[in-house]
Amino acid sequence: MILCCGEALIDMISEPTVSGAQGFVPHTGGAILNTAVAVGRLGVPVGMLTGLSSDMFGQQLNDALKASHVDTSHVIVTDRPSTLAFVQLKDGQATYSFVDENTAGRMLQPDDMPNQLPAVSALYLGGISLACEPCADAYAALLDRHGSERAVMLDPNIRPDFIKDQTRFRTRLNRMIAQADIVKVSDEDLDWIIPGAEPEAAKADLLLQAGPSALIVTRGGDGANGYLADGIMVSVPVKPVKVVDTIGAGDTFNAGVLTELSRAGHLTKPGLQNLTAENFRAAMALGADVAAVTVSRAGAEPPWAHEL
């Protein structure tokens, strides 16, 4: 089972009310939940490790996970409130305002992390949970505890506004990158992690030298580039669709990558260390296909397997 570790939250998406004024409608969201839901809908065994509230929003999130066949046995439920992300859309692009103080997800501690993960073969981590403390330290502790025995995919999804102490964040992130087998970043993320005017390929090489076997760089409408530690580079284009909004695009791209790697038997440490260009391209291509369906719909609504 792939265990997706990180935030699950409520996207409060702006919609007009019957009176004509703008209101906000609660939708399930969070980068890591979106990936878990998408993997579950694609038919691969997947679970979620996160902190959920016992409030009505926490129940909505729990129900959404179960409806998409996501195992919730590692969900930690408390009476703290749910994280809310107020989303406004302009020309299909989302901007966010978060309410995240003292929430069930954010307040996870290292001691809350499980000591054993007997049914878990791979870990997926990322999102704002890697920037917001104390949960960022909790997920880093989880990786320290269990990452050496399992395949690890990491998507830091850099949001500078969430980073209160850049030195602490970079130190923690660099350690997690060194423990990961496959890292996915946007081109903007890569430039933040490795500042400077060097070309993408040079920065990719520097990041891979830190320890990962594979790196994916998504480039918006220009598709995605994949780099392997042995110097191989592959690319996949964006699938042309009519974009409704971009909510969850990167999250569901990751789900496609994880799904294909898992189905092909490559989602292991040895499998990722020996990944071929053909295998890597196939995983990225499924990621692009899944993301294309998601952006053609309102909100983060990934496809089921039969829809592909």
Q: 31-40, 256-265, 269-278, 293-302: lowest mean pLDDT where?
A: 293-302
In the predicted structure, residue 36 carries a pLDDT above the cut 90 = yes
In the predicted structure, residue 19 carries a pLDDT above the cut 80 = yes
Nearest alpha carbon to residue 154 among 122, 124, 195: 124
What average pLDDT does the segment 160-178 reach? 95
In the predicted structure, residue 62 carries a pLDDT above the cut 90 = yes
In the predicted structure, residue 254 carries a pLDDT above the cut 80 = yes
In the predicted structure, residue 245 carries a pLDDT above the cut 90 = no
pLDDT recorded at residue 92? 60
Confidence of residue 21 (pLDDT cuts 50, 70, 90): confident
| pTM (2 d.p.) | 0.94
Q: Could you give the percent of the chain with pLDDT greater than 90?
A: 82
pLDDT recorded at residue 87? 79
Domains of the chain: 2-6+30-76+102-307 (3.40.1190.20)
Residue 120 is encoded by which pair of tokens? 């878990």
Confidence of residue 244 (pLDDT cuts 50, 70, 90): confident
Per-residue pLDDT tens digits for 103-158: 999 999 999 999 999 999 999 999 999 999 999 999 999 999 999 999 999 999 99
Residue that wins the pLDDT comparison between 54 and 220: 54
pLDDT recorded at residue 96? 77
In the predicted structure, residue 263 carries a pLDDT above the cut 80 = yes
d(CA 30, CA 123): 17
d(CA 287, CA 2): 16
Residue that wins the pLDDT comparison between 170 and 247: 170
Per-residue pLDDT tens digits for 87-114: 777 776 667 788 999 999 999 999 999 9
